[in-house]
Amino acid sequence: MEALDYMPYYTYEDYAKWEGDWEIINGLAYAMSPAPMVKHQSISSKIARNLEDIFENCKKCQALLPVDWKIAEDTVVQPDNLVVCDEITNKAYISKAPKIIFEILSKSTAKKDIHVKYDIYEREGVNYYIIVDPDEELAKVYELYNGRYKKLCDATDEKVEFDIKECKDKMEFDFSKIW
């Protein structure tokens, strides 16, 4: 525990000055490098395209690619794909919890995505968290229920319904289209 006293502690003010892709979680810096692999980018692009199609006619919700989500002065994350259903008033980052987040695993980020971000997204009230494993071509879909995530399903080629009250009663995402 004493060693933690000597660890650097960063805030959004520090983060805003850095070059490259970074996240800060509880004041600790995480480099987002190396750049995502081709398969990771391909899956992310397909997720984005499907989300764009789903929310095309919605005036409240929008699908975004990595954008800063400032949760606190010492915590800023960049989900791979996300859906927000609130007006974005700050041009530098979003400040409210997205409704849906997709994180695509890579060797350098898998532990953080599966454990650290899972806990953050659950605590912050993200309705759906989808952890996408490109190697297994499997998506673990979690739904927030009474403040805790419960696994909705493991999806490979299934169509999964998400209940996004701000936009539609339900939306259907076809996982067969992302591989």
Task: Check whether 4 has a pLDDT greater than 80.
Answer: no
Domain count, the chain: 1
Place of tokens 């700050």: 90
Task: Check whether 35 has a pLDDT greater than 80.
Answer: no
Residue 154 parent element (H or E): strand 148-155
Tell me if 120 is assigned to some domain: yes
Tell me the per-residue pLDDT of 66-106, one tens digit each, with 9 for 90 and over: 999 999 999 999 999 999 998 888 889 999 999 999 999 99
Tell me if 21 is assigned to some domain: no
pTM of the prediction? 0.94
Q: For position 137, which CATH number holds?
A: 3.90.1570.10
Q: Which domain holds residue 60?
A: 36-177
Over residues 44-55, the mean pLDDT reads: 96
Tell me if 128 is assigned to some domain: yes
Q: Rounded to a whole number, what is the distance in angstroms from the first to the last CA of the chain?
A: 43
Task: Please tell me the predicted confidence (pLDDT) of residue 62.
Answer: 93
Tell me if 111 is assigned to some domain: yes
Task: Please tell me the predicted confidence (pLDDT) of residue 6.
Answer: 82
SS3 of 10-63: the string is CCHHHHCCCCCCEEEECCEEEECCCCCCHHHHHHHHHHHHHHHHHCCCCCCCEE
Tell me if 58 is assigned to some domain: yes
CA atoms of 165 and 69, how far apart (whole Å)? 21
Task: Check whether 168 has a pLDDT greater than 70.
Answer: no
What single-letter amino acid sits at 5? D
Over residues 15-22, the mean pLDDT reads: 93
Tell me if 123 is assigned to some domain: yes
